[in-house]
A and B are shown apart, each in its own frame.
Chain A
């Protein structure tokens, strides 16, 4: 009982452990996913940061370009030499497209889209203003140019452009810094998550190892409990077997003693009956001499009848006692296991009963019999009893036939002795194996012990015997003996 409870507990605990390990796995998955997401966010952040940096540079380059074009314009206006106009010619046409490209490539994180539109507007006006002044200077209208300069229109535009670009650059820097702060925070969280993850992995590993050790210990315990139960069971079996053996021995001793003690009085009865017979002879002789008896013949016959019954009864009783003795002795005889060539053994038995077969004018055939590991003397007695029985109950019509066959059935060896004799009523199939019990008309001499003897022998060899028969058709006796491996155990026991 204890072991079953252990196994149940083990089962329940293993379920709890499985649940715990499942939870641990989910926690690890969540932590890993979170960490992955954080990495992704960090990457996004750094990409945005880089974009901001690039944009910052781009803004600066546009501002510088505008200043370069402006200083080239001024140089030309002051000196009037074409040489100063070269940067202007190179870059003036790019000012507006560059500013437009600023709008197009503005990072999504930058919120100042309106300022960019204002910047474009200012840049277009500045470009127009510079183009107008350069055109006036080229066409020798210096007065108009000076007048325009005095209006400070161009300077104001430049200042406004720079203001806007600075504002945008500040914005980009601010954004970048914001992202960096954010990233630092994220990195911190990620570190914490990673540490927690690592600790969790370690903890779960220890937990698993602990579970494994615990379940292993429980398994060992259950195994030991099972082993103990097994041993207990073997002990019980050993005790029962010993008890059975004792009971069996007792019965055999009892049969032995009873048969001996019964024999003693029988010797007396028989002895003194014979003595009486002798006396009677003398008595009758004397009576005859004295002529005292008229009908001596009748008296003599009565005496003979009485003596006859007494003697035949004693003889019968003696045979019965001998039968009991024989069986009890068989039970105590040690068995010797050896490999028996059953065909040769049966042929010897058959040759011993050859004259009985001839008397009945019958035939006997021995088929191929598988060898068996068993006790030789027991086997001889089994076959000789079965064959003699078969001969006894053959019909006297000259068609009597006995067949001895054998085959393997699984691990068992089966031998059969079949005849076409008078057969046995199915009602008697059980009885015929009992001691002193016979079946059918009692016209064949016998004590009714042959089959009881055979059945005791077969049982002792660890086998079984069965009969298949119907009246008038014949009978088949089947002896099943354990095959080699199983038989070794049977004989050793």
Chain B
């Protein structure tokens, strides 16, 4: 019953994805990281979870807002309005630090909003803390929710 949590990372910038992954690993988090570089492939994956939920692990979503084919806000909205996926924690990790944007994400139900700092030290610290967050957070299985 207690399947390991999969981290779904939706990030169009491969460099960012790589840096995030490295820092998560450095924080000692070993969970599977599934990377999508656009909104459409992420949607396809979510649809698959819905159709055969039993085969899938519970997920935690790392979301970038600036995607090439759609806005991350659309994905957030979709997740939080879905019967099963609603329980998955969503961490918005993006370059935008506009207060209105942040407010909007929290209003839509995002759990954490992190701005990617240009300063790498800060960036690394933020991701590692996120790793710590992963290790303590209890992610509910959508099937039991």
Contact = CB atoms under 8 A, between A and B. Distances in A.
Interface of A: 260-261, 263-268, 270-275, 314-315, 318, 329
B118 A267 contact: yes
Interface in B19-35: 19, 22
A271 B98 CA distance: 22
Contact of B95 (A263, A272, A273, A314): A263
B123 interface: yes
B128 interface: no
B95 A268 contact: no
Chain A binding surface SS class: helix
Contact of B118 (A270, A275, A329): A270
Contact of A267 (B16, B96, B98, B121): B16
Contacts of B98: 329
A158 B66 CA distance: 151
Given A260-B66, A260-B96, A274-B120, A268 B22 contact: no
29 contacts: A260-B66, A260-B95, A261-B66, A263-B118, A264-B13, A264-B66, A265-B13, A267-B13, A267-B15, A267-B16, A267-B19, A267-B117, A267-B118, A268-B19, A270-B119, A270-B120, A270-B123, A271-B16, A271-B123, A272-B15, A273-B120, A274-B120, A275-B19, A275-B22, A314-B118, A315-B118, A318-B118, A318-B119, A329-B98
A292 B27 CA distance: 33
Contacts of B15: 265, 267-268, 271-272
Contacts of A267: 13, 15-16, 19, 95, 116-118, 123
Given A264-B66, A268-B13, A271-B15, 14 more contacts: A260-B66, A263-B116, A264-B13, A266-B118, A267-B19, A267-B118, A268-B16, A270-B123, A271-B16, A271-B19, A271-B120, A272-B19, A274-B124, A318-B119
B119 to A, nearest CB: 7
Contacts of B66: 260-261, 264
Interface string B90-107: 000001101000000000
Interface of B: 13, 15-16, 19, 22, 66, 95-96, 98, 116-121, 123-124
A270 B95 CA distance: 14
Contacts of A273: 120
Contacts of B123: 267, 270-271
A328 to B, nearest CB: 10
Contacts of B124: 274
B8 to A, nearest CB: 20
A261 B121 CA distance: 21
Contacts of A270: 118-120, 123
B120 to A, nearest CB: 4
A264 B118 CA distance: 8
Nearest to A260: B95
Contacts of B19: 267-268, 271-272, 275
Contacts of A268: 13, 15-16, 19
Contacts of A315: 118-119
A272 B22 CA distance: 11
A264 B95 contact: yes
A85 B8 CA distance: 172
A264 B64 CA distance: 11
A272 B118 CA distance: 11
A268 B116 CA distance: 10
A27 B66 CA distance: 91
Contacts of A314: 118
Contact of B121 (A263, A274, A329): A274
Residue picked from A264, A270, A271, most chain B C-beta under 10 Å: A271
B93 to A, nearest CB: 11
Contacts of A263: 95, 116, 118
A54 B12 CA distance: 136
Nearest to A262: B95
- Top 5 A-B pairs, shortest CB-CB distance: A268-B15, A274-B120, A318-B118, A271-B19, A263-B95
Q: B95, B116, B123, B124: which has the most chain A beta carbons within 10 Å?
A: B95
A265 B95 CA distance: 10
Contacts of B16: 264, 267-268, 271
A329 B15 CA distance: 28
A267 B18 CA distance: 12
Contacts of A272: 15, 19
A268 B96 CA distance: 15
A270 B98 CA distance: 22
Nearest to B120: A274
Nearest to A256: B98
A273 B124 CA distance: 13
Contacts of B13: 264-265, 267-268
Contacts of A271: 15-16, 19, 120, 123
A139 B17 CA distance: 182
A278 to B, nearest CB: 10
A315 B66 CA distance: 22
A263 B65 CA distance: 14
B124 to A, nearest CB: 8
A270 B121 CA distance: 9
A267 B115 CA distance: 11
A304 B23 CA distance: 23
Nearest to B116: A267
Contacts of A266: 118
A240 B50 CA distance: 53
Which of B15, B22, B98, B118 has the most C-beta atoms of chain A within 10 angstroms of its own C-beta? B118
A314 B98 CA distance: 21
Contacts of A265: 13, 15
